A and B are shown apart, each in its own frame.
Chain A
Amino acid sequence: MNKIPVSLNVNGREENLEIPPHKTLLEVIRDDLNLTGTKCGCEDGTCGTCTVLLDGAAVRSCLLLAAEVQGHEIVTIEGLADGERLHPVQQAIVNHGGVQCGFCTPGMILSAKALLDKQPSPTESVVRQAISGNLCRCTGYTKIVESIMALSGQPVSS
């Protein structure tokens, strides 16, 4: 199978890879870089569990070819914590019981981070829109929203 050279910047590290051109960013992150925090769910853009940050914005890694994102900065869930110290969004999710089965958690946290980096004090409705692309099949949305709202400093409606 023909392979092409692809250089990716993932979590601040330059990765020089030889990959088949039809490989998605999600497949490269999980299979080539062994960063399995990014989950593979529906593979059709519906569920959002494959969310990563592309130049700071939340995107679906299952809908991008790895070859398309050369020269851009990619951040996965593994890139958030500072050693043993969790990122504030991760810590908030822990403090407020925002995790149930955990499968949606990496995507939720990255969507929340993308929002809070742009808009540090969002209202609840803005938070709900920002995570509208992340499905939680445990339906634990209330606790997830509360976790993010704890960082926003804005009141929660209910």
Chain B
Amino acid sequence: MQLPRFDFLQPRSLQEACSILREGNGKVSVLAGGTAFMVALRSRLHTPSAVISTKALSELSYIREASDGGLVIGAMTTLEALENSPLVANGYAVLGQAARFVGVPPIRHVATVGGNLCLDTRCIFYNQSEFWRKARPDCFKLGGDVCHAIDKGRRCLAVYQGDLAPALVALGARVRIVGVSGEKVIPLTQFYTGNGEKPNVLEPGDILAEVQIPPSSGNTWGGYEKLRVREGMDFPLAGVAVSIKTNANGAIDQARLVLGAVAPSPLEVPEATELLVGQKLTDSLLESVAQKAYDRARPVANLAVDASYRRKMVRVLVKRAIGRAVSGNG
């Protein structure tokens, strides 16, 4: 099926891109890697009057050590660059793992960090052809006033299915957002709204330009695990990212556990941090942490796999992710 008609714009700078977006006031869309957005265009989930391709904005493609010893990553950095980066592998392993879990090599060659973080939320009643969607009244996400996933549902719980965001939240990342009237840096947790209809805080004219990760110390370990239908390529049906820092005695100094694909935004499990910090890892502690993650995760029946199975798998994936982190494979 052909794409809907639109004009094609190729701005030469980030500022020019922001101006075009602002003037477009919601009718102009950013096309980054395009591996998800082209599919949304084809099924007419978006019908912009113009798309601006940011592929030529090489100023946004970099992975560098920051002045504070952390890491900064440009929004147009490809996932392939991320998975192959020695800077990422050295201290930010959970991010490299999460990148490797996205799609397949040809997808990761073009898909970008910014695009992955700005992924729209997804639902089996939303990500369908126009023909399929027209057979039912419009749901909340399509501008209507009904939810097809939950009986008498009052708000949209479409799922944020990005793999990078849980890993980056576990690493305490911030994002730099550039707009027409300036720029701001906010924690990645505040970038997501928790609202399935509008998953992030970007307004027309805003572009997510950079990811900033705080410095990592030598004893930081990471693990990412995901549930998917096929091992080869799929969005996560549940994802777990963990970042753990141990001290010289082998006890845990810092820990962050973040779930993906069980809610409209990445979901942190603060109870896991409380349980883990100050402790050495044992099987029974792992079991308690997995239980806390299970308690937090409340997936609903809006993806291709049963919600209760996704929830049960959160428990399993937490144990695998922590196991992967502490075994040093992360």
Spell out A's residues near B (CB within 8 Å): 1-2, 4, 20-24, 27, 43-46, 48, 51, 54, 57-60, 62-65, 67-68, 111, 129-130, 132-133
Q: How far is the CA of A2 from the CA of B55 in the complex (A)?
A: 22
**Smallest Cβ distance from B79 to chain A, in angstroms?**
13
Given contacts A20-B5, A57-B109, A68 and B39 within 8 Å (CB-CB): no
Which residue on chain B has the smallest CB distance to residue A130? B105
- A60 in contact with B35 (CB, 8 Å): yes
- B105 in contact with A58 (CB, 8 Å): yes
- A21 in contact with B8 (CB, 8 Å): yes
- B106 in contact with A133 (CB, 8 Å): yes
Q: Write out the residue numbers on chain B whose beta carbons fall within 8 Å of the beta carbon of A45.
A: 35, 38-39, 103, 107
Q: List 17 A-B contacts (CB under 8 A).
A: A21-B6, A22-B3, A44-B39, A45-B38, A45-B107, A54-B109, A57-B109, A60-B106, A63-B35, A63-B39, A68-B10, A68-B34, A68-B53, A132-B104, A132-B105, A132-B232, A133-B104
Indicate whether B110 reaches chain A with its CB closer than 8 angstroms: yes
Given contacts A45-B35, A48-B104, A133-B232, A64 and B7 within 8 Å (CB-CB): no
**Smallest Cβ distance from A145 to chain B, in angstroms?**
14
Indicate whether B72 reaches chain A with its CB closer than 8 angstroms: no
Which residue on chain A has the smallest CB distance to residue B43? A44
Given contacts A4-B8, A60-B35, A133 and B53 within 8 Å (CB-CB): no
Spell out B's residues near A (CB within 8 Å): 1-8, 10, 31, 34-35, 38-39, 42, 51, 53, 55, 103-107, 109-110, 232-233
Given contacts A21-B8, A45-B39, A63-B110, A133 and B3 within 8 Å (CB-CB): no
Q: Write out the residue numbers on chain A whose beta carbons fall within 8 Å of the beta carbon of B232.
A: 132-133
Q: How far is the CA of A21 from the CA of B51 in the complex (A)?
A: 10
Q: Assuming A68-B31, A111-B106, what are 13 further A-B pairs, CB within 8 angstroms?
A: A21-B8, A22-B5, A24-B38, A27-B2, A44-B42, A46-B233, A63-B34, A64-B34, A64-B110, A65-B34, A65-B38, A132-B233, A133-B232
Q: How far is the CA of A20 from the CA of B7 in the complex (A)?
A: 9
Q: How far is the CA of A63 from the CA of B106 in the complex (A)?
A: 10
Q: How far is the CA of A27 from the CA of B106 in the complex (A)?
A: 18
Given contacts A4-B8, A133-B103, A24 and B109 within 8 Å (CB-CB): no
Q: Write out the residue numbers on chain A whose beta carbons fall within 8 Å of the beta carbon of B7.
A: 2, 21
Given contacts A21-B6, A65-B8, A58 and B109 within 8 Å (CB-CB): yes
Which residue on chain B has the smallest CB distance to residue A22? B3
Q: How far is the CA of A112 from the CA of B277 in the complex (A)?
A: 47
Q: How far is the CA of A48 from the CA of B109 in the complex (A)?
A: 13
Given contacts A43-B1, A67-B53, A59 and B104 within 8 Å (CB-CB): no
**Smallest Cβ distance from A128 to chain B, in angstroms?**
9
